[in-house]
Chain A
Amino acid sequence: MMPTVIQIPSPVDPSAEGATPDRASEPAVSMAKAIQLRGFSAWYSAHQVLSAVDLDIAANRVCALIGPSGCGKSTLLRWMNRMNDTILGARASGSLHLHGLQVLSPDLDVVDLRRRVGMVFQKPNPFPKSIFDNVAFGPRLHRQYGRTDLEELVEQSLRSSALWTEVKDRLHRSALGLSGGQQQRLCIARAIAVDPEVLLMDEPCSALDPRSTASIEELIRELRETYTIVIVTHNMQQASRVSDTTAFFDEGRLIETGETDEVFTAPRERRTEDYVSGRFG
């Protein structure tokens, strides 16, 4: 599907940073559905947060981005659906392909990108609306539904985030009455409801208690069959539990990436070993 061409105010200056990739010189995207970064760098004003990252993320797998605070992993995540557009002075260069879209292109339809790339935030952020309206929010933006279709969609979304049985009797009560863990699963359901291809999760369990964390982790493992999932986490155990591949970042550089088992048990780099064994960070 080609994105509709629209003019958007983009923080990326193509002429200066060469962000508009010349298709011919770009390496072919190896898989039809995957995320591929080449020479990706990012700045907040003059401060460089990521430099020259090359990374491949396979489709329908869970990729964990780990590393100490300020290593740039959240920034990378926020570039994948261009959430950084809302931040003044944020810009990036290099190339970032996501399921066939050139994410950094100034001609990209950001609204469509974000429909295809769902995001779950650190702190659960349900809208102060009913549970039903929260899940229906995204679908209503993009399409006009008949009532039964919408009800079915909401139910399916809530089922896929394992929340349906808990909330089916109070769909029209405020979402703010849910517990933290339930709220976060609601946010996942909300993201699922727009039928995304990729799910980005920015430390989705950092504000939750251990039991809610366990249920979200279980959910992530089940969801990878349908979605490509990129998760930022501070919690090493979590990364090893939920992810298939892991990318370790430090000081704005990608230090090491590979199968999660390998990165945790037989890291190639000394810094990775120190970090995953808890010696720093």
Chain B
Amino acid sequence: MTAIAARAAAELAQRGRVRGVAFRRFYERLLHFGLLGLTLLSVLTTVAIIVVLVKESGGFFFMEGSEVTFVSFFTGTVWSPLLGAKPQYGVLPLVGGTVLVTSIAGLFALPIGLLTAVFLSEYASPRTRMLLKAILEVLAGIPTVVYGFFALTFITPYLLQPLSDRFGTYNAMGAGIAVGIMILPIVCSLSEDALRGVPQSLRDGAYALGSTKFDVTARVVVPAGLSGIVAAFLLALTRAIGETMIVALAAGGLAQLTANPAEQVQTMTAYMVQIFLGDAPANGIEYRSSYAVAMTLFAITFVMTWTGALVLKRYREEYE
């Protein structure tokens, strides 16, 4: 019975038209190289970014009549491109502004994000976890300009100004907290991934030695997931450094080197917004300075994401 069916099947299988082998090979090749070409677009993007930034900021440094040098740019402590008769281009106040805002954001988001991640991965029931993850997803989807609005109309007037009247309408603190809220979901979900990646057998091993939940979490799970957590922190801080709309709205427009969170500061990104929205002539030195700032910003974030990716890669190797 089965033998007959098998013979019939073999016969039926012969009926279809044979597809040309040569055509098939050509088609496969074509697709292969087509996909390869599209993949290389992403490499091209990086190259293009670097070329554009280098070329345009080259124009800034080597422009005729420009007195800016690399040394004066990277070590100068006064940034006043639009003020006074003799503009000064020392990038440190902008970098300082970015560092101040990012530090505030980090101080807010890293501990809260990590603790929330610990709660999600070690304490929450599956249902609570689902609900909280959904809330975090909502937070992650909110456009950053909304956080800027929130800083300007809620955080500063209702949380900061009642505390101290030294907070102006624009200040580093409000912007920093808003940036912190923005990166909170990133910190949280990436750290949670790292914590959940720690094998259950390690938790069991620790409990079997008489650990409390605190011991298990603080001495086993968090150390074991540490490189994943560090990578999460780095990626989140990179996002904070590159964040534009929040600081453009809420941090102010005065480039100054200060550690006082109640003062207004200008970050690298906020300066770029100011130039691109302003009416500085496209070939003028002020306009070109924004490219030098962009180059600095790109270099900083590039190093940070590179480090983050390497840390993450090592973390993955640990468990594979």
Contact = CB atoms under 8 A, between A and B. Distances in A.
Given A111-B210, A111-B211, A123 B205 contact: no
A78 B219 CA distance: 23
Given A128-B224, A129-B223, A137-B219, A114 B209 contact: yes
26 contacts: A81-B208, A86-B203, A86-B207, A111-B212, A114-B207, A114-B208, A115-B209, A118-B209, A121-B205, A121-B208, A123-B201, A125-B204, A125-B205, A127-B202, A127-B206, A127-B220, A128-B224, A129-B223, A137-B209, A138-B210, A141-B209, A141-B210, A141-B215, A187-B205, A190-B209, A194-B210
Given A111-B210, A194-B210, A121 B201 contact: yes
Nearest to B221: A127
Interface in B183-223: 199, 201-212, 215, 219-220, 223
Given A125-B204, A138-B210, 13 more contacts: A83-B207, A114-B210, A115-B210, A118-B209, A121-B201, A125-B201, A127-B205, A127-B224, A128-B318, A141-B210, A141-B215, A142-B210, A191-B208
Contacts of A191: 208-209
Contacts of A121: 201, 204-205, 208
Contacts of A129: 223
Contacts, number: 63
Interface string B48-89: 000000000000000000000000000000000000000000
Given A83-B204, A86-B204, A141-B215, A125 B199 contact: yes
Contacts of A118: 208-209
A115 B224 CA distance: 22
Interface in A82-140: 83, 86, 111-115, 118-119, 121, 123, 125-129, 137-138
Interface string A179-200: 0000000010011001000000
A133 to B, nearest CB: 9
B200 to A, nearest CB: 9
Contacts of A194: 209-210
A41 B205 CA distance: 25
Interface of A: 81, 83, 86, 111-115, 118-119, 121, 123, 125-129, 137-138, 141-142, 176, 187, 190-191, 194
Contacts of B208: 81, 83, 114, 118-119, 121, 191
A81 B208 CA distance: 7
Contacts of B204: 83, 86, 121, 125
A66 B160 CA distance: 67
Centre residue among A112, A114, A119, A127 by max chain B CB count within 10 A: A127
A187 B209 CA distance: 10
Contacts of B206: 127, 137
Please provide the 10 A-B residue pairs with the shortest distance between their CB atoms, ordered closest to farther.
A115-B210, A119-B208, A138-B209, A125-B201, A114-B210, A125-B205, A111-B210, A128-B224, A141-B215, A125-B202
Contacts of B223: 127-129
Contacts of B209: 114-115, 118, 137-138, 141, 190-191, 194
A119 B205 CA distance: 8
A129 B318 CA distance: 12
A141 B211 contact: yes
A124 B12 CA distance: 55
A234 B204 CA distance: 21
Contacts of B201: 121, 123, 125
Nearest to A88: B125
